[in-house]
A and B are shown apart, each in its own frame.
Chain A
Amino acid sequence: MSIHSASPDVLVSGGGAAALAAAIEAAQAGAQVLLLDAAPPALRGGNTRHSRNFRCAHLAPTPFTPDAYRPDEFRADLTRTGADAADPALLDALVTGSAALPDWLAAQGVALQRAGDGRLPYSRKTAFFLGGGTAAVRALTDRALALGVQIRHGVGVTGLELDGRRVVAAVTTAEDVAAGAQVLACGAAHADPDWLRRHWGEAAAGFINRGTPHARGELLQWLMAAGAEPAGDPAGLYLVAVDARSPAHDGGIVTRIRGMPLGIVVDNAGLRGHDEGADTASTRYARWGRRLADLPGQTGWLVLDAAGLAAAPAALYPPIRAPSIADLATATGIDADGLAATVANYNASIRPPADRADAAGWRTAGLVPPKSAHARPIAEPPFAAYPMRPGVTFAHHGVAVDAATRVRWADGTQLDNAFAAGMIMAANLIPRGYVSGLAVSISLVFGRLAGRAASRCGGGDGQC
């Protein structure tokens, strides 16, 4: 049986925010649209399912974003994060397009959470989906269906059939689908264990995927092999420290371990490697994710005493507890002598501040590496440990695009009628680093652009 009723004008591969935005825009422009999502219906929405907010420029307070976030500030944040070498036209498209997102989303039936409802943290740079990204995905899906978009789940696009620089058809896990234009929005390859192993070796086996298992990047890998221009770093992963007991995929936001500043972090030998007090901002999540990837077995342990545990942010899984450091070593498998020596040295090197109530002022002296803040003794039983591993969040690797989101080829040309959006091309703008809400904004802004551009290719009459 055919996976579509008629040859579509526009084929959209992917199921997240970029794919849905592209499908909606193309359908609104009058195109017959077929969307192929590799995931089953229950996992629809790619990694947008796990998202919460998106970054958007605005010159004045809105119901969803207080104060202002000027376009030049957004640009500066992007270049500071790592997009300093990005195509200025893409940066402009993102910043300008982001400002239109709240109104556009409202028109599609996506509800946003009011900034002044007393339940959101102050955030002038990002707006929040009411109910989170899964709610947004449902609303966008309903909207696409209402516009006549055909959606097929469980079918992934794995390659393209080219005639020169023109895409004739998409190769899928079912049959080939000919279309006038293609929107490539099926994400990067970080959920593919083979791809991870190619770039990270044996360490890849220790990684946990926080998002959809369907971000396997078959199409991205095909594009790279066929001669597309890469963007970002193939070994670049955004890693966050997560509980090692998390499910292999889709753990999302709740599996993060956040209490590093309140304890010490050791490896399986019981040895510290980094200053746990140096970074208490949200940037610490990614710092620790990257460090864990370099530890033996990609495993680290956050060790806390009773006071540290009480002050630490809530975590999903209960910590492993023990009445003494020696028992904790037994319960966790951390080397007992190593852990005992590390804790003893650490406690002995602590220098309390003049004002002992100043928690941040506690630091170590003569310890290598030091703990430069929050260095409270690990003394009060029971002791606790969280096992941690790197959690793969997204990849800083994708395909290069021009300002019209057309896929660029390494020989300087570009595909005539294939437009990339979302995490398959996000590395053009986030080749490293991250700021919150950026991925969803990139997906929606470039999804819309790609959908409109694809719709202009019409029924394959070669107008684009």
Chain B
Amino acid sequence: MGSAEPTRPAGGAAADGNDAEARRQLAVCNICNYCNGLCAVFDAAERRARLAPGDLDLLANLCHQCRSCLYDCQYAPPHAFDVNLPRALARQRWASYRAYAWPSALAVLFAGGGRWFPGLALGITVAFTAAVLLAVPSSVLFSAQVGEGAFYRIIPWWLMVAGAGLGFGWAILAIGMGVRRFWRTTAPAMAVSAPPAAAAATATLEVLTLTNQRGGGPGCADIDHRPSRLRRRFHHALFYGFLLCFAATLAASGYHHLLGRAAPYPLLSLPVLLGMLGGLGMVAGTVGLLWLAHREDPAPTDPDSRGADRALLWLLLAVAVTGLALLALRETAAMGLLLAVHLGTVLALFVLAPYGKLVHGAYRAAALMRDALERRGR
């Protein structure tokens, strides 16, 4: 027998990169299995005992950053097995965003934990605002504009629609291509699978309710080891707030095209009510999540990508706050500049969506779909 007594099992130095470390830790989890009631990751890992690279990406994106499994782990540091699965999967997840980014040339934007993101977001916002400042005469930009079509006297309707359409279309295309590559690489663990419609219904429900961010019932370790429901609630506020804002935009285009009425709309109109409610939800959600990021125990998080998480939250907060300010001050001389800044932040959000933390939603939905196909197919 060899005299060496390795204490980090399942062959592989941590230095071999994300894959090796995530695989090493999940191999411990796959034998222990004590955490399998916490979320979908552990059962899914057991189904793919080989832990191939695609498997690791799937598991990393199935992980909802609940963190309970670190505090519940008998092998967590300082144990020799050094299992910190939330951190290992956070690293793997970030690496997977980079690996599946489309076009590949832009994957570099994920480098260094997304260090380009804050500067680019600010740059796009400032550039757009500057363009408006240059293009729109000061007499128009800095005077109160009221009545139907007030916004379009600052930025022409066709430009607003083209900008939003191109930005949104770009985000959908780039994220869609990334998810397509992700879907093809994360091979199913088994041949049998459920009817896609039923699995899609399950996965959709899990996206909408964040089933996997319940820690198996009592909640997740949002701040320290104690079960909490804060992160899930803040995420709901942000997510549904975002959806309401999106719905406000759809309602506004309905007003425009079907009713022939140009913005701005009265306070008690559907677009404004939806937008106001959504904006408030987004503010509550982003502020809550930023507060959690400030308070949370850093142990289960990935220090390299923590900045990117916060950068996205700040951008979303900027979108919401400038939108609400625009609503509040739309009949004053500040409207022109606020409109420019708000649309600048929205443009930055769309253009950068495929290259920041926002992609997590798409990959997670795909991972939940894969998981639902396998679970229901069993």
Contact = CB atoms under 8 A, between A and B. Distances in A.
13 contacts: A49-B74, A130-B37, A130-B38, A134-B74, A135-B71, A135-B72, A138-B72, A138-B225, A247-B7, A254-B28, A316-B27, A316-B28, A317-B6
A299 B4 CA distance: 15
A133 B71 CA distance: 11
Given A120-B36, A131-B35, 15 more contacts: A111-B218, A119-B37, A119-B43, A130-B38, A132-B32, A134-B34, A134-B76, A142-B226, A250-B74, A252-B32, A317-B9, A318-B10, A318-B11, A320-B2, A332-B1
A117 B1 CA distance: 42
B71 A114 contact: no
A79 interface: no
B137 interface: no
Nearest to B28: A254
Contacts of A244: 1
B216 interface: yes
A366 interface: no
Contact of A299 (B1, B27, B42, B226): B1
Interface residues of A, number: 39
Nearest to B9: A316
Given A111-B217, A138-B225, A317-B6, A131 B31 contact: no
Interface string A104-133: 000000010110011110000000111111
A254 B32 contact: yes
Interface string A2-41: 0000000000000000000000000000000000000000
Nearest to A113: B37
Contacts of B35: 131-132
B71 A138 contact: yes
A333 interface: yes
A175 B6 CA distance: 39
B32 A130 contact: no
Interface string B1-31: 1101111011100000000000000011011
A315 interface: yes
Contacts of B38: 130-131
Nearest to B216: A130
Contacts of A100: none
Contact of A113 (B4, B49, B81, B216): B216
A111 B10 contact: no
A245 B6 contact: yes
A341 interface: no
A354 B338 CA distance: 85
Nearest to B77: A42
Contact of A131 (B11, B34, B43, B81): B34
Interface string A237-273: 0000000110110101110000000000000000000
Contact of A247 (B27, B80, B225): B80
Contacts of B68: 131, 135
Interface string A152-178: 000000000000000000000000000
B75 interface: yes
A387 B216 contact: no
A59 to B, nearest CB: 24
Given A245-B5, A332-B1, A316 B227 contact: no
A50 interface: yes
B180 interface: no
Contacts of B119: none
A314 B71 CA distance: 24
**Most chain B CB neighbours (cut-off 10 Å) among A132, A318, A333:** A132
A111 B216 contact: yes
Interface in B203-234: 215-218, 225-227
Interface in A267-320: 299, 314-318, 320
Contact of A314 (B11, B30, B43, B227): B30
Contacts of A317: 6, 9-11
B263 interface: no
A333 B4 CA distance: 14
A431 B49 CA distance: 39
A128 B37 contact: yes
A277 to B, nearest CB: 23
Nearest to B226: A142
B135 to A, nearest CB: 58
B31 A314 contact: yes
A52 interface: yes
Interface string B47-71: 0010000000000000000001101
B262 interface: no
B27 A117 contact: no
A119 B38 CA distance: 10
Nearest to A317: B9
Contacts of A316: 9-10, 27-28, 31
Nearest to B375: A118
**Most chain B CB neighbours (cut-off 10 Å) among A135, A317, A320:** A135
**Most chain A CB neighbours (cut-off 10 Å) among B28, B30, B32, B226:** B32
**Most chain A CB neighbours (cut-off 10 Å) among B32, B34, B68, B73:** B34
A134 B72 contact: yes
Nearest to B219: A111
A50 B81 CA distance: 14
A253 B71 contact: no
A401 to B, nearest CB: 29
Contacts of B260: none
Contacts of B43: 118-119
B217 A247 contact: no
Given A314-B49, A332-B1, A333-B1, A131 B37 contact: yes
Contacts of B36: 119-120
A332 B1 CA distance: 5
Contacts of A320: 2
B28 A114 contact: no
B2 to A, nearest CB: 8
A315 B72 contact: no
A20 to B, nearest CB: 15
Contacts of B215: 130-131
Contacts of B153: none
B64 to A, nearest CB: 15
B256 interface: no
A296 to B, nearest CB: 12
B44 to A, nearest CB: 11
B377 to A, nearest CB: 13
B32 to A, nearest CB: 5
Contacts of A250: 74, 79-80
Contacts of B32: 132, 252-254
